[in-house]
Amino acid sequence: MSKRLEGKIALVTGGTSGIGLAAAHDMAREGAKVYITGRRAAELDKAVQLLGHGAVGVQGDVTVEADLDALMKTIGEAEGRLDVLFANAGGGGLAPLGDITPAHFDDTFQRNVRAVVFTVQKALPLMRVGGSIILTGSIAGSTGTQGFSIYSASKAAVRALARSWVLDLKERGIRVNVVSPGATRTVGLAELGGESKEAQDGLLGYLASLVPMGRLGDPSEIARVVTFLASDDSSFMNGAEVMADGGQAQI
């Protein structure tokens, strides 16, 4: 039985941990040759070793245009094309209204919006008919979250980008979809609770209590949604937002 991404070339930004690493692993398992990015060399090397399957790590920061140019040049020279782009890199912190600073705003939008725009734009010359672009959204983009308004706004912007890009790319036959995770058990989520394990566990427990399924998501569960959107199994899905959140956004 053939694998769903056999022979595909895939790029996962922010692929050294969490959802990005899990998605890279799942796509490689389904036959794709996967390129991942990360800012820190040691973490990137470790992730490549964990992935196996001929995965390639390219060190760089998606907020730096020169790094994006170098990344696409590397893939272009080695492969000549790109079939799947998972623009996953991003993040953000808590800041309630009254404590929001220009630096917090700029950092969040630079990572979650500006970097996504230019990652996708710079990847387009490598992409062919039938290509799939997946953006990482969040249920925070369509639900209220105390102290998280700037992050939420940045993820709402990601959703809006996808809606327009499907029109920009319709003549090229390239699909754009969004995967929007709910609370998922990652290091990044835990660290929002603070430095102590007690505080982190408290946050994760509280977030789990908000999910109808009564638990947090696992990165591997989000990864399987990404692989689905990358594959021909989702060939008639375009401009969609897939909530992978245990039902939280539905209540």
| Beta carbons of 160 and 204 less than 8 angstroms apart | no
The answer to whether 151 is a known catalytic residue is yes
Partner residues linked to 11 by β-bridges: 35, 85
**Minimal CA–CA distance to 159: which of 185, 139, 175, 173?**
139
Q: How crowded is residue 235: how many other Cβ atoms within 10 Å of its Cβ?
A: 10
**Minimal CA–CA distance to 177: which of 225, 130, 134, 136?**
134
**Minimal CA–CA distance to 47: which of 70, 77, 9, 14?**
14
C-alpha to C-alpha distances, 162 to 67, 103, 104, 116, 156, nearest whole angstrom: 23, 26, 24, 11, 10
Q: Which of 151, 155, 179, 184 is catalytic?
A: 151
Q: How far apart are CA 209 and CA 206, in angstroms?
A: 5
Both tokens assigned to 80: 């000549």
Residues with catalytic roles = 151
